[in-house]
Structure 1
Amino acid sequence: MPTSRSARPLRSTRLPREQRREQLLGVALEIFSRHGYHKASMDDIAESAGVSKPVLYQHFPGKRELYLALVDDNLDQLAARLLTALQSSTVNRTRVESMLNVYFDFVADSPQAYRLIFHTDQLADTEIRERFENFHMGVAEAIGSVLGPNAGISQAHAVMLARSLTAMAEAGAYYWAHNPSVGDREQAQRQVFRLAWGGISIIDEDWQ
């Protein structure tokens, strides 16, 4: 999956700059998702990565800059996967199924990245909050640009409905992953899809 990273190297291992940056982001993802922003430290990240603090600071000037880079990296990857799913077919039912599948994959295969993105403790920070809002709106606008013309509704209404759909997909995937009593993924995902598709089909039959 896009959010999985290479294993931590030994202290003696030298990596090219970009590979080192990727490795540091992977370790930071683990530390931030486990401890939250405030309790995580650059010391913890450097030690877990098997590098000195000067090496860490060569890539990221501080903890906030590292956190922002990590947020951007994971939001960009998830947005790309969702947009690819949206563009994977001209059949709207397939589009919805594919995007829903991305959310379930993300929760199942990248739980640390999921916690970082959807359960961050940094939404009080204006710059970080704007990054998340831009991600959500970017995806909603992309969906709305397809939903609106098909359903004969305004772009504003289409974006509102698209944002509601993605929030439902995210919540459904998270609930399934954290509640074993729900059952297997296929059944859970099918039920969330039926709710989403049933609502969409009511808006306008042309969307089908």
Structure 2
Amino acid sequence: MDSTEQMSLEGHRHGRVPREIRKRQLLDVADRIFGELGYQGASIEAVAEAAGVTRPMVYNYFGSKKKLYLQCVQRARQQLEADMETAAASAQDLRERMARVADAYFQFVEKHAQAWDVLFDSDDGTAGPAAQEARDMRFGTVSRIAAMLRAETGPVLTDRDLEAFAHAMSGCGEQLAKWWRTQPDVSRAQIVEYQVALCWDGFRHLRERTGPNPPARSGLA
């Protein structure tokens, strides 16, 4: 159990930890285990041992590894979406909104690295219903990005245009975050600039090509 997980239990006698605090502690531990070992490598036994509790206690709270994993995913995604929505609300135009959302996203990567691993580590071997449900949650986030773009653009772009761009914007952030974590000398401000430059220029180009008077196209240009 790391220091953050231990702090959540301070002040409570052994065996008398309130249920919500214990659940939060188990989710914190599970974030770390899933982040380090991936879905296939993680186990209820590993979570119980790391949390200093018994296997039956973990099963009592979550029922199965799949349900524990999905609660980790849901908690992290809700926090990420809330952070991005709060950041977007204070922006004056679309470019500023993209920048504020990007900053909130990369701040989440900084502050909640283990939770981000649970959300975005595509090499963890997750399969079956757990993978599908996690993917559905992810697509829900992308739909919210598309709705943000729709509110700014009106009818200029089709729903398909916006959905495609929202997926590209999400994927861009994910890949930049993976690269950023290998580049300790790159600041959060710099990585936000990369994200905004790529997404803003791409969005303007898409809007120009699909607007009421799109330029003539030739080849793959």
Both structures adopt the same fold (TM-score exceeding 0.5) = yes
1:157 equivalent to 2:161? Answer: yes
Following TM superposition, by how much is the alpha carbon of 1:186 offset from its aligned partner in structure 2, in angstroms? 1.9
TM-score w.r.t. length of structure 1: 0.83
What residue number does 2:218 align with? none
What residue number does 1:138 align with? 140
1:54-65 alignment runs, 5 A limit: 54-65=56-67
Q: Distance in 1 between matches of 2:112 and 2:87?
A: 18
Gaps of 5+ in 1: none
What residue number does 1:36 align with? 38
1:173 equivalent to 2:187? Answer: no
What residue number does 1:7 align with? 7
- Aligned-residue Cα RMSD (Å) equals 2.6
1:15-164 alignment runs, 5 A limit: 15-120=17-122, 121-125=124-128, 127-148=129-150, 150=153, 152-164=156-168
More off after superposition, 197-206 vs 60-69: 197-206
Following TM superposition, by how much is the alpha carbon of 1:146 offset from its aligned partner in structure 2, in angstroms? 3.6
Following TM superposition, by how much is the alpha carbon of 1:175 offset from its aligned partner in structure 2, in angstroms? 0.9
Q: Distance in 2 between matches of 1:163 and 1:22?
A: 31
Q: Distance in 1 between matches of 2:136 and 2:41?
A: 26
Tell whether the 8 Å contact from 2:109 to 2:177 is kept in structure 1 after alignment: yes
State the identity %. Answer: 30
- Per-residue CA deviations over 1:115-163 (Å, capped at 9, x if unaligned) read 11111524422x2232333233222222223424616011121111111
Following TM superposition, by how much is the alpha carbon of 1:6 offset from its aligned partner in structure 2, in angstroms? 5.9
Q: Distance in 1 between matches of 2:197 and 2:145?
A: 18
TM-score w.r.t. length of structure 2: 0.78
Residue 7 of structure 2: SS of its match in structure 1?
Answer: coil
Tell whether the 8 Å contact from 1:24 to 1:49 is kept in structure 2 after alignment: yes
Distance 1:8 1:27, change over 3 A: farther
Gaps of 5+ in 2: 212-221
Aligned residues: 201
More off after superposition, 71-80 vs 10-19: 10-19
Following TM superposition, by how much is the alpha carbon of 1:88 offset from its aligned partner in structure 2, in angstroms? 3.4
Following TM superposition, by how much is the alpha carbon of 1:27 offset from its aligned partner in structure 2, in angstroms? 0.9
